[in-house]
A and B are shown apart, each in its own frame.
Chain A
């Protein structure tokens, strides 16, 4: 599990959200059912049959760094909606610890828990959940109103936040007058207005048509980066997860089966389920130069006559698309990867394998490539 590249870790480096061994089992005798699953290794289906309990989340452990966008991806029924509600304790965990910004939510009183929710955690819902009898501005001001911020102040804040989501002109309208995409922008503005450090996004764009969805994704990425919010983003759409997430957790039947960067998930899926899930995603902007290069020293050993300093060069995080266009435009078989000095070389063959998202063995077997036998390590990068 790598750290997020975009995440700006705070000075003390502590995570914003830390879940440790979190379980949620619905139903009577959930304790017995939980123990049966954890200690005796029963499956989710067996638990349902034997105890009539639904295991929504099983042994979830993960950390979200400050400023990171953490995607939780899974099909419906995989437990992702339950998991996100455990983070602000809209649902109480059956077992396990959830720490938000250093505070263990478990022992908090109802009053203190409400304060954590109103001050620290914003939430955006799939169905938007705007109050139909309030104007757009009043909806955005809702969180501040709950916090008992004075009326003039909260309305001013709401109008300012509406401007940042591009709805400055719509404040006096009612939600029913807005399109679906605009309504969800209001939902995002509402979550931002209370200036929380964490935003929980529960499939916020799933109900929107593809064009609007993409546009809102871009706006969201921009906002999240600019405002430095820590975001937990739920989605069932792999393309969306890859676009917005610094890291992605994949859930299946209540368990997190893989956590990693988009590149990890796509190039190194832990099992067939994950690889099927992400099969449709284009690799071109995910695979970076540092993943497909050979170390400079090994390349130099194999090709002593090539002067590395004269090769066209890219940064280590240049994506495959950039490498392809450079290779074609310059008619070069080799491209140097520079980080200060030359750290590695991308060959035409390694580039093609990167485009295909091939495994290490595919690349190193059947080789006329000078790097046979060592390429595997370079591939892991």
Chain B
């Protein structure tokens, strides 16, 4: 068997596997499509139903609480800019995609990260899985998504969730692992159960690390959501994708600026939330 025929056979096998999955797993992928679609439209509806200036004020207040006055004003001005460029709906769609993906990713990543941080045996396998996920170029995840789930936000979310799991999981596991031995001993000497140890000692100490993980997950999600424009996800990614296809440079730049604004707002607010926890520990 020469190499060409081997590769052809491999491709056939992959294609066959996908076909098989598509036929036999249709109910499963339909459920993912529906479920993720519901989460996304729910969050998008929350962000889009108030008038844009209400949302601008709300983001300003959130920025003021978590970071400070200057940032609050800048964030408000930036988001207002998005509205002025006529990209308000797209900006909120992108935000909805990011938030819904990251929330789901965290629901998966943090518990697994905790278990991995506690059990070295589990951690070995989890780290290998996370390594594989992180080395594969992120847009590869879109392909099976498109094949099995179809065009639309659910595919974008699936790919984004996969990418967003890694940072939060790694940093949660690390934070749990790094609990100082003397504090573990303190818990044991006081007769703490393993649940008390986790919730009263390990998790509060790991909080800065977990918050950094959440921040990183948010950041990779924004990048992924933009790429996901090519699989029919709504939002800024789609705007840029369309602008590139029609060589509308002005529109592409507008979209780019909006993405930068969304990224900075998410970054600073999530860092601010982490810093609050760290301040108490100072």
B196 touches A133 (CB 8 A): no
Q: How far is the CA of A119 from the CA of B188 in the complex (A)?
A: 13
A129-B205 in contact given A146-B192, A147-B191, A174-B282 (Cβ < 8 Å):
no
Interface stretch among B4-12, B109-117, B125-133, B178-186? B178-186
Interface stretch among A120-128, A151-159, A322-330, A360-368? A120-128
A118-B191 in contact given A129-B182, A129-B183, A129-B185 (Cβ < 8 Å):
yes
Q: Which of A113, A131, A176 contacts B282 (CB 8 A)?
A: A176
B189 touches A121 (CB 8 A): yes
B196 touches A127 (CB 8 A): no
CB-defined contacts of A176 to chain B, threshold 8 Å: 282
Determine whether B193 belongs to the interface, using a CB cutoff of 8 Å to chain A: yes
A120 closest partner in B (C-beta): B191
A143 touches B190 (CB 8 A): yes
B183 touches A88 (CB 8 A): no
CB-defined contacts of B282 to chain A, threshold 8 Å: 132, 174, 176
CB-defined contacts of B180 to chain A, threshold 8 Å: 129
Q: How far is the CA of A127 from the CA of B200 in the complex (A)?
A: 19
CB-defined contacts of A279 to chain B, threshold 8 Å: none
A146-B200 in contact given A123-B189, A129-B185, A133-B205 (Cβ < 8 Å):
yes
Q: How far is the CA of A113 from the CA of B201 in the complex (A)?
A: 20
Q: How far is the CA of A206 from the CA of B108 in the complex (A)?
A: 45
B204 closest partner in A (C-beta): A133
Determine whether B140 belongs to the interface, using a CB cutoff of 8 Å to chain A: no
Determine whether B281 belongs to the interface, using a CB cutoff of 8 Å to chain A: yes
Q: Which of A114, A119, A121 contacts B192 (CB 8 A)?
A: A114
CB-defined contacts of B190 to chain A, threshold 8 Å: 117-118, 123, 142-143, 146, 194
CB-defined contacts of A119 to chain B, threshold 8 Å: 191
Q: How far is the CA of A158 from the CA of B227 in the complex (A)?
A: 55
A90 touches B205 (CB 8 A): no
A-B interface contact total, Cβ < 8 Å: 64
Determine whether B54 belongs to the interface, using a CB cutoff of 8 Å to chain A: no
What distance in Å separates the Cβ of A259 from its nearest Cβ neighbour in chain B? 25
Determine whether B280 belongs to the interface, using a CB cutoff of 8 Å to chain A: yes
A110 closest partner in B (C-beta): B193
B185 touches A133 (CB 8 A): no
B205 touches A146 (CB 8 A): no
A145 touches B182 (CB 8 A): no
A165-183 contacts to B, CB under 8 A, are 174, 176
CB-defined contacts of A132 to chain B, threshold 8 Å: 205, 281-282
Q: How far is the CA of A17 from the CA of B27 in the complex (A)?
A: 65
Q: Size range of the interface on B?
A: 20 to 34
CB-defined contacts of A142 to chain B, threshold 8 Å: 186, 190, 200
Q: Size range of the interface on A?
A: 20 to 34
CB-defined contacts of A147 to chain B, threshold 8 Å: 191
CB-defined contacts of B185 to chain A, threshold 8 Å: 90, 125, 129
B278 closest partner in A (C-beta): A133
Interface string of A80-121 (1 = CB under 8 A from B): 000000001010000000000000000000000111111101
B185 closest partner in A (C-beta): A90
Of A88, A113, A116, A129, most B-chain CB atoms within 10 Å: A129
CB-defined contacts of B182 to chain A, threshold 8 Å: 125, 127, 129
A194 closest partner in B (C-beta): B190
CB-defined contacts of A90 to chain B, threshold 8 Å: 185, 188-189
B201 touches A131 (CB 8 A): yes
A148 closest partner in B (C-beta): B196
CB-defined contacts of A145 to chain B, threshold 8 Å: 200
A174 touches B280 (CB 8 A): yes
Q: How far is the CA of A293 from the CA of B28 in the complex (A)?
A: 94
A114 touches B191 (CB 8 A): yes
Of B204, B207, B281, most A-chain CB atoms within 10 Å: B281
Interface string of A188-220 (1 = CB under 8 A from B): 000000100000100000000000000000000
CB-defined contacts of A143 to chain B, threshold 8 Å: 190
A146 touches B191 (CB 8 A): yes
A353-380 contacts to B, CB under 8 A, are none
A135-151 contacts to B, CB under 8 A, are 142-143, 145-147
Sample 18 A-B pairs with CB under 8 A, ordered by A number. A90-B188, A90-B189, A113-B191, A114-B191, A117-B190, A117-B191, A118-B190, A119-B191, A123-B190, A129-B183, A129-B186, A131-B183, A131-B205, A132-B281, A133-B205, A142-B186, A142-B190, A194-B190
New contact pairs (5) apart from A119-B191, A146-B192, A146-B196, CB-CB < 8 Å: A117-B190, A123-B186, A123-B189, A132-B205, A133-B281
* Complex A-B, nearest 4 residue pairs according to Cβ-Cβ distance, in ascending order: A118-B191, A117-B191, A114-B191, A123-B189
